[in-house]
Amino acid sequence: MQTVNIHEAKTHLSRLIEEAAKGESFIIAKSGKPMVKVVAIDTPAAADVRRVGFMNGQIAIPDDFDRMGSEEIEKLFGGNT
């Protein structure tokens, strides 16, 4: 994410707004300290974006998943099975 100082934001406001509208959010800083974040209006809030666990209950993992194919793997690597 791009960070710009206040003076640069004033000078290039139109371009920065166009980029934000396309999804390129940016931060305006004062004396190097971040002050505000500019994002497009239709950008989903962080709480609305769900990643971890999105397929909860849709995938079944067998109890022996850590041993599946172990015999074939041992044969491939010279095991005595």
The model's pLDDT over 8-44, given as tens digits with 9 standing for 90+, comes to 999 999 999 999 998 899 999 999 999 999 988 886 6
Q: Is the pLDDT of residue 58 over 90?
A: no
Residues 38, 28 contacting (CB under 8 angstroms): yes
Q: pTM of the prediction? A: 0.52
User: Residue 53 has what pLDDT?
Assistant: 76
- Per-residue pLDDT band for 52 (boundaries 50, 70, 90) equals confident
Apex 16 CA angle, 13 and 10, nearest 5: 25
Q: Is the pLDDT of residue 81 over 60?
A: no
Average pLDDT rounded to a whole number, residues 36-56:
76
Domain 1-40 has CATH 3.40.1620.10: yes
Reduced to 3 states (helix: H, G, I; strand: E, B; else coil), residue 61 is coil
